[in-house]
Amino acid sequence: MSETILVIDEGTTSTRAMLLTLDGRCLATEQTELTQHYPRPGWVEHDADEIWRKTLSVAGAMVAQAGGPSRVAAIGITNQRETIVFWDRETGKPLAPAIVWQDRRTAEDCRALRDAGHEPMVQARTGLLLDPYFSGSKIGWAMREWPQLREAGDRLAIGTIESWLVWKLTGGVHVTDASNASRTALMALDGGWDDELIALFGVPRAALPEIVDCAREVGRTTLFGDSIPITGMAGDQQAATAGQSCLTPGDTKATFGTGAFVLTQAGTTPPRSDNRLLATVAWQIGGERHYALEGSVFVAGSLIKWLRDSLGLIADARETDALARSVADNAGVYLVPALSGLGAPWWEPDARAAISGLSFAAGKPHVIRAALEAMAHQAHDLKRAFAADGQDWTALRIDGGMVANDWMAQDLADMLHVTVERPHFAETTALGAGMLAAVGRGLFADLHEARAMRGERETFTPAIDEAVRERRLAGWEEAVRKVVGG
């Protein structure tokens, strides 16, 4: 049997495929950007057909690079979570735009449900809060507002991105893995689809997929020639948690991609938060679920993209390191990046971004530095919430596109006052999907054995003056209070 794993990593702004070996080497990768659609303020949509076409293209390129399908042992899939797709079972075509996880169109619906007293029940059963972030309210809105979905009747299929891709790859297998299902607000943390939650959001149960393990064969694809099994699936943050080998309770990772997401491994008992963090399924293998406590920040790398594409302050994200180093401090400038509301621990969907503290002493480098500092500031807010829930971080494993920036990695260590560990191979989301696929294919006995795929790491240790640290945190708290109105 070949020992090469094909990983499909379908993200928010791009989709890519990667060939991984069982010792964690990346043999090749292919990536293409996705189009973001913003039909109204606060709305974010994708074309599910575009996602499929481009995913098929990059995956096909990697199969060819491997030497054909017989040289690929298995496929692992990881994906942007909470984004929801609606399609026709008969034609396999999307019936409506995909509603992206960043989309805030259901803010009023969620507020009404909170005002009606439903949030305690939702949190107790799902580990989630009533926020537009999660898929359930998106589905309910779509069923109400898009008549073509109701008209489809039994032909309607609904699923998150990995569900859509498996359907297309296999020609009709309708499944979702437990980690992605746990992000819909429709699945009980310790069970399956929940009838009361389904009714609360107005979701057609018959359109939902079967919930399955994250590491097992769920189907096969013959689109590249010979049959290749699909044996691993997980939402991107859960995959990164596996890729960072956060396998022991207390192990914590932070991914700085489009958004920023911190997960702390909680073991086989569902965690509970009193500080507006989320409980989620980390993965399910052999029917056994492992859980994580999660803090979700909506805007991280997308802030740098906005500074580049919308404001023109930089031409390339790589400029940010040098710009941040070019000034001694932030000159009193703070940037609260609530471009699509504030996530944990605030959960303010209507909050809007703000740059405060500007003066004639401030210039472009200070604004860029404030943008990078916002990553550590937001992480510090989360750290306090985790600590209040009894899950303080003693170290942090970081990954994602932003952490290639050495200045930012050191700033995280300084502001969090913990050792920060960064792997040499930063694509831990893809690595985790590869590890799960390898376990599902029987190439490793479990994720502990699959740690053989994890490579070398480097560390950053705190080196900031405590008075400077406290002054920065105080300035950040004041800036956030202005945004949230508290």
Mean pLDDT value across the chain: 93
Q: Which of 193-197, 205-209, 268-272 has the lowest mean pLDDT?
A: 268-272
pLDDT (tens digit per residue) in 252-299? 999 898 888 899 999 999 998 888 899 999 999 999 999 999 998 888
Q: Is residue 347 within 8 Å of 475, Cβ to Cβ?
A: no
φ/ψ bin of 9: left (φ > 0), alpha (ψ from -120 to 50), beta (otherwise): beta
pLDDT at 2 over 90: no
Mean pLDDT is highest, among 139-148, 311-320, 352-361, 387-396, for: 139-148
pLDDT at 349 over 80: no
> In degrees, to the nearest 5, what angle opens at C-alpha 216 toward C-alphas 443 and 261?
95
pLDDT (tens digit per residue) in 63-84? 999 999 999 999 999 999 999 9
The pLDDT value given to residue 140: 97
pLDDT (tens digit per residue) in 442-456? 999 999 999 989 878
CA–CA dist 109, 184 (Å, integer): 15
What single string gives the DSSP state of each residue in 150-195?
HHHGGGEEEEEHHHHHHHHHHTS--EEEHHHHTTTT-B-TTSSB-H
Helix or strand holding residue 484 (H, E)? helix 466-484
The pLDDT value given to residue 283: 97
φ/ψ bin of 431: left (φ > 0), alpha (ψ from -120 to 50), beta (otherwise): alpha
Count of all residues that appear for the chain in the document: 486
pTM to 2 decimals?
0.87
**Which two structure tokens, joined as six digits, stand for 90?**
């008969």
Q: Which of 149-163, 223-237, 336-350, 447-461 has the lowest mean pLDDT?
A: 336-350
Q: Which of 164-178, 293-307, 437-451, 461-475 has the lowest mean pLDDT?
A: 293-307
pLDDT at 174 over 90: yes
> At a CB cut-off of 8 Å and minimum separation 6, what does 320 contact?
304, 314, 368, 371, 372, 405, 407, 408
Q: Which residue has the tokens 């069982």?
A: 22
CA–CA dist 379, 382 (Å, integer): 5
The pLDDT value given to residue 400: 85
CATH fold, domain 5-237, is Nucleotidyltransferase; domain 5 (3.30.420)
The pLDDT value given to residue 486: 53
Q: Which residue has the tokens 């928010």?
A: 12
The pLDDT value given to residue 1: 60
CA–CA dist 398, 244 (Å, integer): 8
> In degrees, to the nearest 5, what angle opens at C-alpha 197 toward C-alphas 193 and 201?
120
CA–CA dist 368, 221 (Å, integer): 45
pLDDT-above-90 percentage for the chain:
81
- Burial tier of 21 (Cβ tally within 10 Å: 0-12, 13-18, 19+): middle
- How many C-beta atoms lie closer than 10 Å to residue 374's C-beta? 23
Mean pLDDT of 122-129: 94
Shortest CA distance to 474 belongs to which of 338, 275, 334, 348?
334
